[in-house]
Every structure is written in C-alpha cells, then in structure tokens.
Structure 1
Amino acid sequence: MNVEVFQLTKSFGTDEVLKGIDLNFQTGQVYGLVGQNGAGKTTLFNCLAGLETHGGNVIAEGGRLKDRLGFLQTEPYFPSRLTGREYLRLFCKARGVPDEGLDTQNVFDLPLDRYAQQYSTGMKKKLGLLAVLLQRNEFFILDEPFNGVDIHSALLITEIIQRLKNEKKTVLISSHIFSTLKDTCDIIHVLDGGNITEIIGKDDFERLERDMAAFAIGNRLDAIRF
C-alpha cells in the first residue's frame, strides 16, 4: 500500500512539533523512524493514524489510510473488565473480519481468558500487536513494538515484520533499540527538530548507528569516576 505525506505540520499552542514533513511509503517496504525523546515520533504516528488534527495531506492508495491501518501504540489502551479474547474479538469486529480460531492464532501464548488490564507490559504489547494483525490491515505503524517484551517474543516480532513485508504490507516502526531496526528496515528516517533530516538506506545503517552512538555518548562518561 503506497502512502504519500505532503508538508504535514502539527503544533500544540505555540509549540511547533512537526514542521512540514514529506514522506513516501511504498508497498512491501519496512521503514524505521528514529529521533530523540520528544522529537515528535509519536505525534507523527498519531497524525498519520487520524488521531490528531494536522496541516498538510496524507494520501493513501485506494482510500483513507485509517480504514486499513493497524496502529500499535507505545501503550495500547485496554478497557477495564475486558479479557484478552474479548479484546481480539473487538478488533476483528471493527474491521468486519472473522474472529474464529483465536486460540490457534495466539502465537504469543497469551492467557486470553484473563483480563487484559492484568497483563504485564510485554504481554499488553503482544496482545495489541496480535489484535492489529488479525484485522488483516495493509499498513502498519508499530510504535516501540519491542518495548518490554522478552527475547523470544522479540525474535518472533522480528519474523512477523518480515512476513508482513513478504505479504506486500507496508510497515513503519520506531524503536529505541537500533539493532531491531537494522534487522527489519529497508529505510530509516531521522526526525530532528520537527523535520526529517536524513533518509538512510541499508548501506548506511552502520554509519547512522556510529553517528547516533557518538552523539549519545560523546565524552559524557568522562565525568564519572568508575
């Protein structure tokens, strides 16, 4: 699913968070988004998902993006007194897809008959991901999908992203763990100061990682006596 973003802007009062973002997402590609805390990554995702009003345009092939979008938020919301199974059924109903075989498709071995609010952080993240996968969406935004999950689940999520790519889905990911982006992405966008400052292909991932490490670490540790 091809999606084009033209001059997307977003302000909160006098604080201009996004300053004319241009993006082009192509079918069957996995895109990464990196930036410091507060750079506007989640705000950009919310704008693309239709959860925030914004300036500019988001044009999706074949209709509105939000009608075919699976959005995994950093902290998915779970209504009280709703089991994992009921949560999955709710998401299936929202897209008009069958909700049979939930136990078979429960690839994370989640306790579906427990209340979702009782899940750990990692379990909630896995339930949220499974819910948007079951909807059979065409475009996926995954905001920190590896946050809080165990190493086995992280490997499974990496494979899920590869399967989505193979099925010609379009995927946009943010992650604070750069190795997960290297393992999954075709292109990485750098968001800084409200603008996309770099668009990096696979050949330059190593260079980007070195630049990010140099910026993050620099000579800061010289101040600590180990």
Structure 2
Amino acid sequence: MISIKSLQKYYGSHHVLKDINLTFNPGEIHGVVGENGAGKTTLFRSISGIENFNGTVEYTKGNIKNVMGFLPTDPDFLSKVTGKEYLQLLCNARNIKVNNFAEKNIFDLPLQQYAERYSTGMKKKLAFTGILLQDNDIFILDEPFNGVDIYSNTVITEILAKLKQLNKIIVLSSHIFSTLYETCDYLHYLKKGSIVKSVDKTQFESIEKEMQASGIKVKIDNLNLK
C-alpha cells in the first residue's frame, strides 16, 4: 500500500500541491484527472521521488524507489543509445537478465535504431516497455495513452488489466475519459493543486460532468464562433 499524507509542494512562493492525502492499494488502478497546470505531473514526480516536497509518501513494503516504474509524459533518452541498449540499461539497474529483447518487444519497435530519433509515440512505448521489464510492483504513468496509436492504446489497456491481475499498484493520468472508464477503479479530481473529489467507478461520470461544467462552455461561447 502507498499512503500519501499532507503532501505539499511549493515552487518558490507558488503553492503547487496543497495537502494531498491519498491511499493506493495493490490490485487497484487509480486515475488522476485535472486541467493542464492542475499539478498532476508534479504529484507523480513527487510520489516517484524526483521532486522534493513536504509531507510523506510511505510504502508498506520498504523503499518505494526500488520497486517503482515512472513513465513521464515526454520521455528523454541519452544521445546515441539504441532502443535495445536503453532496455538493457533499465534491466541492468535492477539486476534483471533478459536473453532476448526481441521476444519482449511487444510494440514492435525498431530496437537497433537510436531512441532519440523515435517519434513521440515510439519513445513513450519504449519507456513503458523498459519499466515493464524491470518487474516493478508500482507503476506511475503520466499520460500513457497520449500520442500513441490506436492499436498500441489497446495493448496498453490489456497490459494494465494484466498488471492489476498481478496485484500491482497503478496510478495514471489521462485527458481521455473513455480510457479512464475502461481501465480505472478509482478517479481523483485534482484542481488547482487540491484533490477536490475522489470517487469509485460507479461515479466517474460525476467528475466528467463537473470538469465539463467548470467554465468550458463559457470559454467556448467567448470565441463567438459563427
């Protein structure tokens, strides 16, 4: 279990995350939604230990960094590193031996090419493959469906279902509500740095409607489209 208590994050005087309290259990998929700038990426980076913060993130089984795979929105890769070499580096970091990366290449990526030359979607799929090969117990996925083709979205959805079956802890963000309905058990609405609503699957529609009503119609009307 991951227990987040009173998590606060400041950038200078800017209060980015405000008193976040959440609990994530094994075998659950949690979605975090909110407008751009609400603090989703900062929250994920804080949980993953990339950002400093006030408050606590506790994992009941020990050091969270040793069992966590973090998928950023826009993965970066070292220059002149092939897809295969990148996967090898991630496996080496966890002392995991893979004899045949071609068998693990579920997205059919060109592993002999330099990863920095991949398209946006290919980079995301390579990074996702890497954290899957690490045998992580926790997956923090920032927009895993964004920029990825329809077929790969289906593959990712099936992978998430398998990870849930394996009792992993999964937290993801998405702007696409259909993927949230399909994959998540719980949904948390992050607005201006605060969790304003948390619901189970039966109430996802309430958050979708609340987000749609939060000034979207006014903004569209202000365009004065003719």
Q: TM-score range by the shorter chain?
A: over 0.9
User: Offset at 1:20?
Assistant: 1.4
The residue matched to 1:31 in structure 2 has which SS?
strand
Deviations 1:149-189 (A, max 9, x none): 11000111111111100110010000111111111000001
Structure 1 gaps, min length 5: none
Corresponding position of 2:165: 166
Distance 2:196 2:97 in 1: 42
- Length-normalised TM-score, structure 1: 0.96
Deviations 1:43-62 (A, max 9, x none): 11111111111111111011
Structure 2 gaps, min length 5: none
The residue matched to 1:104 in structure 2 has which SS?
helix
- Report the AA paired with residue 108 of structure 1: F
Corresponding position of 1:107: 106
C-alpha RMSD of the superposition: 1.1
Preserved contact between residue 189 and residue 207 of structure 2 (Cα < 8 Å): no
Corresponding position of 2:224: 224
Corresponding position of 1:124: 123
User: Offset at 1:213?
Assistant: 2.1
The residue matched to 1:88 in structure 2 has which SS?
helix
- Length-normalised TM-score, structure 2: 0.96
- 1:92 to 1:119, Cα distance in 2 relative to 1, 3 A: same
Q: How many residues align?
A: 225
- Report the AA paired with residue 12 of structure 2: G
Matched, 1:206 2:205: yes
User: Offset at 1:216?
Assistant: 5.3
User: Offset at 1:101?
Assistant: 2.0
The residue matched to 1:154 in structure 2 has which SS?
helix
Distance 1:116 1:54 in 2: 32
